[in-house]
Structure 1
C-alpha cells in the first residue's frame, strides 16, 4: 500500500513539474525542503536515525539545488541568499550529526521566510529574468 501511495505521489509531482513555471518549481522546492525537515524532526523524535539521515540528506540536496540556481552578480540579494543557504546547509549538517531538532526549527524558519517572500512575487513578474529589457 505504501509503495502505491509513493508511486502516486511521484506521478503527481512529475506532472506538476512538467507544467510548472520556474517560479512554481522554486516554490515546490522550498515546500519540499520544509517537508523533509519536518519529517526528519519527526524521525529524530522517534529515534529513527536511518530515516533522519536520509531525509536531511534530501533537504540538503534541495537547498543545494536552490543555491545553485542563484544568479551571483553584484546584487546584494544574491549574496544574502547565498549566505543564508550556507547557514541552512551548515545547520542541516549539524542537526544530522547531533540529532538537534532546535537547529531544524531554526533552518525551517529561515527557509519559510524566504519561501514567503518568494510567494509574494506578483504573478506578472514570475517569468521576468535578469536579462529582460
Structure 2
C-alpha cells in the first residue's frame, strides 16, 4: 500500500472513531458517492470486475443506510426513505448488469439530494443528541 493510501485509510478510521451518529451517516453518504464515482471511472476504463466490486460496495452502503432508518420515530419520512433506498439499490444492480453510467448518475444525484437534507439538519440533530445524554 502506498503512502497516500495508508494516509487515507488512517484518516478515514480517525473520522469514524471521532464521529457522532449524525456524522457517521454523513460518512456513509460520502462513501456511497465515492464508490459510485469510482465505479463510473472503472466502467469507462472497461474494468468491469473493478466496477462490479465498487457498485456492490455502494449497494452495501445504501443497504446500511436503509437499515438505520427508525420506522417508529421516522413515520412517513422513514417509509419514503426506505422506498427511495430500495429504488437506489435496484438502480445500482441494473447499472452494474447493463454497464449503465446514466443509472449511476441518477443514484448519485438522488444520494446528493438526500445528503444535502441530512447535512442541513446537523445542528438540530447534534443538539437533540446532547439533550438525550
TM-score, with structure 2 as normaliser: 0.90
Find the aligned partners of 1:3 and 1:90 in 2 and give their Cα distance: 35
Counterpart of 2:4 in structure 1 is 5
1:39-82 per-position Cα deviation (integer Å, ceiling 9, x unaligned)? 10111111010110110011011111111100012711000000
For the aligned residue pairs, the C-alpha RMSD in angstroms reads: 1.5
Counterpart of 1:80 in structure 2 is 80
1:74-106 per-position Cα deviation (integer Å, ceiling 9, x unaligned)? 711000000000000000000000000000011
Deviation, 1:127, is: 5.4
Alignment of 1:64 onto 2:60: no
1:23-42 per-position Cα deviation (integer Å, ceiling 9, x unaligned)? 11111110110010011011
Find the aligned partners of 2:45 and 2:78 in 1 and give their Cα distance: 37
SS of the counterpart of 1:123?
helix
Contact 2:22 2:122 in 1 (8 A): no
Deviation, 1:123, is: 1.3
Larger RCO (alpha carbons 8 Å, 6+ apart): 1
Find the aligned partners of 1:31 and 1:122 in 2 and give their Cα distance: 15
Paired residues, number: 129
Find the aligned partners of 1:127 and 1:87 in 2 and give their Cα distance: 31
Counterpart of 2:114 in structure 1 is 114
Counterpart of 2:14 in structure 1 is 15
SS of the counterpart of 1:70?
coil
Shift >3 Å, 4+ stretches: none
User: Which aligned pairs between 1:92-111 and structure 2 lie closer than 5 A?
Assistant: 92-111=92-111
Find the aligned partners of 2:18 and 2:77 in 1 and give their Cα distance: 28
